[in-house]
Amino acid sequence: MKAFVVERYGDKSGLRAGEMPDPQVGADDVLVRVHAASVNPLDYKTRDGEFKAILPYRVPFILGNDLSGVVIKVGEAVTRFAVGDEVYARPAKDRIGTFAEFIALHQDDVAVKPASLTMEEAASLPLVALTSWQALVERADVQPGQKVLIHAGSGGVGTIAIQLAKQLGATVATTTSTANVDLVKSLGADVVVDYRKQDFETVLRDYDVVLDPLGGKTLEKSLQVLRPGGKVISIAGPPDPDFARELGANPVIKLAISALSFRTRRRARRRHVTYSFLFMSSSGDQLRELAALVDAGRIRPVVDRVFPFESTPEALDYAEEGRAKAGKVVVRMQGPRA
């Protein structure tokens, strides 16, 4: 099958188009013909080797973490899906590879795609929607009336997280650029801070939850806007000890990961708030709940641009260079073989 393969870590030159063996289908697997896949920061960071310590993929491997497509074969133990089902998924972290004609996935990681969406729209959702759900529902347990700050509201995670937080009954603030103020308001943001004109930490106070997809100085300043007992959840900040435990890391790696976030966790404790790092996980069950919200008109995807499959490297460059105006960048497969 055709695929985009990381031949060596380091930079964009390590990614090439090539032929790879068709996936093997286990008893609990579904084989999916990929119709569309979307680009995430995780993709180019993985390509460049930034996560080698925690995601040690052996080269060559196929890149890609989001997809929509059609089931063309099911394993003997599969009970949830049949040939012909239209599905969407974020593969488990050890089974990535959506920039390809086909992929085999465990049935537990897959869900029937929202009926109201195109394949391209559906492919834009899994990773960012699961991230939003696991941050706001599982980790933060957002309740009606709470105040939630979501940074980078026009980004892939932000566009979905704003809508989900509103569905949970929160008052939602977000940061964005001047050009996207109207967009984030249309998604449900109650308070919009234009970062080109204001510093969010000077105008926001007493928030219960901050979702941070940016890290760095934004993460540090986010500690200032939380009420005592508040939580900042970051997908871009330093990993914490809980993540090391989830990963099943060896003692040396656990110690190194703990050291990375020590200063941030110490700052948080001094302000009587908590910091946690989130690396989202695959979940077909959560994708089913999210699909119901989409089909009910409560969450809508935001797609910036769709590239043809052969332009996957250009799609990665476009996203990495920050040229997307809002939402996700998607890759559409061109005529996969039967």
Give me the domains of the chain, ranges plus CATH numbers: 2-125+301-332 (3.90.180.10), 127-277 (3.40.50.720)
Cβ-Cβ contacts under 8 Å for 8 (sequence gap 6 or more): 14, 59
Are 62 and 102 contacting, i.e. CB atoms less than 8 angstroms apart?
no
Place of tokens 């040396």: 252
Are 221 and 193 contacting, i.e. CB atoms less than 8 angstroms apart?
no
- What count of Cα atoms within 13 Å lies in the side-chain half-sphere of residue 331? 29
Positions of E strands within the chain: 2-6, 15-19, 29-39, 61-62, 67-74, 86-89, 102-106, 110-112, 147-150, 171-176, 191-194, 207-212, 226-234, 274-277, 303-308, 328-332
Report pLDDT for 223: 98
H helices of the chain, where?
Answer: 41-47, 119-123, 126-133, 156-167, 181-187, 200-203, 216-222, 241-247, 251-260, 262-270, 284-295, 312-320
Rounded CA-CA distance 212/231 in Å is 11
Rounded CA-CA distance 51/303 in Å is 26
SS3 99: coil
- β-partners of residue 191 are 173
**Residue ranges for the chain with pLDDT beneath 50:** 336-338
- β-partners of residue 193 are 175
Residue 46 CA, chain-centre distance (Å), reads 13
Report pLDDT for 334: 66
Task: Tell me the residue length of the chain.
Answer: 338
